Amino acid sequence: MASLFCQRALDVEPNNLQGLDMLGHICSELGDTQKAKGISFVQAEVYVSVIQIFLRAVELSPDEGHSKYMYLGQIHTGHEAVEYYTRGIQVLLAALDKQAQTTAHAGAAALPEEDPELPTAKDVCVAYCSIAEIYLADLCMVEGAGDKCREYIEKALQYHHDNPEALQLMASYLFSTERNQEGKECLLKSVGQWLPAQKVSAGSSKTEEDLQNEIPPYESRITTAKLLMESEEYEVWYLSGWVCYLQLEKAKEQQEREGREVAEEEKEEWKALKEAARSYLTNAKKLYSKLRCDDQPMLEHVEQLLGELGGEMTEGDEGEEADPNLDDDFEPCSDEEEDDDEADAPMEH
């Protein structure tokens, strides 16, 4: 319906920038990037091309509004994507300069209320991260790709020095260049920016939407878990178990909303998620004790989740068992031993 009314507005005024920008955003949300590359969407019997909409907005207003460039960057790949992101960053920086000049002339006493629609330094950081990710993936084989990747991550951190996604991206880069200890430090700093606050917020009266806005996107959190596994951090067991628990709860809620019987395939999937969650959380609890960690809220949450799932995983349980390396005879190595191990056995990727 939103798409229909946007199209009607554009029928009246074809060059209306607000209408073009809004329609582009709507269509991008309704379809995937593969469709956006060359297939039009059918919305209320109106064929709409996402790329054409944003390119029209660029033609009408090339120096204002950075979001259209960011969407075009997401839709395209390789050097084309880099070009769009770069242009968007130029528009962003110009807007930030203009804001700074306006603020300077207005004076502190006349500062307007914060406008969520205005661009911020964090937007610049995210844009630079998008370019860095391209050099980690699509353009990884281009000569000097590693240097370019690091350059753009460093630029991102200049504008938002404690951004979790930028720090995580730097960790990915460092792991890829076998600088594992630096990567581990960067990764833990990234997680430290949001996870402790998330644990506190989870027990507050904030809405689900507010909580989601305070943490990195889902895809980023999955990458966090993978990198933590590479760096062998104990908290990854907790995160992995929590993810499986949430997936299980979401699947059950959906089935209840639909008011239908549980299919056999769903039962098997639920059982697998439950066993995986129990296994991960059991390992988290064991390793928590062995490493003498000081994070009581996390331990309490682990025990709460295990209680809801049927208790700790034991050797007699079917399915995935807890890691035998974390049994009672497991002893953590000293920092010196860990450093020696890292030097002797580089991490595989």
Q: Which pLDDT value is given to residue 254? A: 86
Q: Which pLDDT value is given to residue 134? A: 94
The answer to whether 55 and 66 are in contact (CB under 8 A) is: no
- Compute how many other C-beta atoms are within 10 angstroms of the C-beta atom of residue 141: 6
The answer to whether 173 and 150 are in contact (CB under 8 A) is: yes
Q: How far apart are CA 29 and CA 26, in angstroms?
A: 5
pTM: 0.57
Q: How far apart are CA 305 and CA 175, in angstroms?
A: 32
3-state secondary structure of 43: strand
Q: How far apart are CA 269 and CA 244, in angstroms?
A: 11
The more confident residue out of 308 and 195 is 308
Q: How far apart are CA 121 and CA 151, in angstroms?
A: 17
Chain position carrying tokens 């064991």: 286
Q: Which pLDDT value is given to residue 101? A: 83
Q: How far is CA 346 from CA 179, 181, 280, 340, in A?
A: 9, 10, 25, 10
Which residue type occupies 95? A
Q: How far apart are CA 15 and CA 8, in angstroms?
A: 12
CA-based angle 281:283:289, to the nearest 5?
A: 105
- Residue 292: exposed, middle, or buried by beta-carbon count in 10 A (0-12, 13-18, 19+)? exposed
Q: Which pLDDT value is given to residue 43? A: 37
- Give the mean pLDDT of 159-169: 91
What confidence tens digit (pLDDT) does each residue in 97-146 have? 888 887 777 665 444 555 556 788 999 999 999 999 999 888 989 999 99
Question: Where is mean pLDDT largest: 29-33, 84-88, 210-214?
Answer: 84-88
The more confident residue out of 203 and 213 is 213
- Give the mean pLDDT of 331-339: 43
Q: Which two tokens stand for residue 83?
A: 């070009």
Q: How far apart are CA 130 and CA 73, in angstroms?
A: 8
Q: How far apart are CA 21 and CA 7, in angstroms?
A: 11
The answer to whether 156 and 129 are in contact (CB under 8 A) is: yes
Q: How far is CA 177 from CA 64, 126, 156, 246, 342, in A?
A: 38, 22, 19, 34, 14
Q: How confident is the model at residue 152 (pLDDT cuts 50, 70, 90)?
A: very high
What confidence tens digit (pLDDT) does each residue in 267-278 have? 888 988 898 889
Q: How confident is the model at residue 347 (pLDDT cuts 50, 70, 90)?
A: very low
